[in-house]
Amino acid sequence: MSEPSMVALRDLHVHFNAPGKLIKAVNGVNLEVGEGEVVALIGESGSGKSVTLRTIMRLHPARTTTVSGGLDVDGKDVLKLSPRGLADFRGATVAMIFQEPLLALDPVYTVGDQICETIRRHKKVSKQEARKQALSLFEKVRIPSPERRLDAYPHELSGGMRQRAMIALALSCQPKLLLADEPTTALDATVQIQILLLLRELQKEMGLSIVFVTHDIGAAAEVADRIAVMYAGKIIEQGPAAQLLTRPRHPYTLSLLKSRSHGAMQKGQRLETIGGAPPDLANLPPGCAFADRCAYAMPDCAVAQPIEEIIADGHKVNCLRVHQIDTMPVPMSRLA
């Protein structure tokens, strides 16, 4: 990537020590996110998306987590930050929007108090100035009656309002990098679209870099400049959003696109599914982790690890069968 990288993950591994076994949640992730770029991570549950995001923030307990590889954000080696350095890093350089704000926000403090506390921790301003800035943020994320809602507790807000308050909290210290962990999953369809449009608008206005985790391919198509597909703790395909979604070259990406409803489907037509189940992360196979679910797999796929191959500008695929896969474009109606 020629532009400066806001995030650089190099052969990142994240393993969890569980009773009697080692959970290999992330296994050699390589990913760069440029300044002002939006990258979406997609894949099934358990593929390592949220673990990767939380590792960037170093939120996993050190006692049970082993992290290795390279992890740089805004030129800082995050794995070498001291506890004080981490406290300064979180909020001011990188912030996170969690999937369920009702669990992420403290139920015994008003949302305004929580935002003001964050602002004062990083900016050293008065209570009055912090509240003024919090009010401005509520206006920016379009919360109606913002002054009254500053004094509301999390449970007093609707799901959409809570998520907007969570976005305001994440933006309160003007971070350079925003991590969004499925921020629209618990919302109804209309509110989902509003939140996605709001995030994209704020990203452009503030020049933010965003890593956006989602199960929703339509959401990824809406907000992302680039998409990275994860499976069994690895990025198995990544590239420009339009190219990857219309000409996928990994069997797993192709299967994901075929498994969702689209405008060309007839009433009563069954959705295509991906057979089998993701592998046990405590007992990963020696070869390609997707081999036993893949329609293109050959015997060597089960024993040999695929090597990343660049097939177009910025489009990379980890698959031994990349040149044998049908490259007919996926209809845009599948992304509608």
Domain check: are 253 and 317 in the same one? yes
Domain check: are 149 and 195 in the same one? no
Domain check: are 154 and 214 in the same one? no
- For residues 150 and 112, give the distance between their C-alpha atoms in angstroms, rounded to a whole number: 4
Residue 42 lies in a domain: yes
- For residues 293 and 274, give the distance between their C-alpha atoms in angstroms, rounded to a whole number: 7
Domain check: are 302 and 290 in the same one? yes
Domain interval for residue 304: 35-63+75-93+177-263+270-335
Task: Decide which of 159, 174, 189 is a domain's last residue.
Answer: 174
Task: Say if residue 331's pLDDT is above 70.
Answer: no
Task: Say if residue 263's pLDDT is above 70.
Answer: no
Would you list the DSSP string of 109-129? Answer: S-HHHHHHHHHHHHH---HHH
Domain check: are 282 and 170 in the same one? no
Whole-angstrom distance between the N-terminal and C-terminal Cα of the chain? 30
- Residue 33 DSSP SS3: strand
> In the predicted model, what is the mean pLDDT of the chain?
90
Residue 19 lies in a domain: no
Q: What is the pTM of this model?
A: 0.90
Residues 6+ apart with CB under 8 A from 193: none
Please state the domain count of the chain. 2
Task: Decide which of 127, 155, 174 is a domain's last residue.
Answer: 174
So what's the pLDDT on residue 329? 52
pLDDT digit string, tens, across residues 53-98: 999 999 999 999 999 999 999 999 999 999 999 999 999 999 999 8
Lowest-pLDDT range, 125-139, 188-202, 203-217? Answer: 188-202
Local structure of residue 64 (DSSP, 8 states): T
Domain check: are 320 and 242 in the same one? yes
Task: Say if residue 144's pLDDT is above 50.
Answer: yes
Contact 110, 167 (CB under 8 A): no
Contact 39, 227 (CB under 8 A): yes
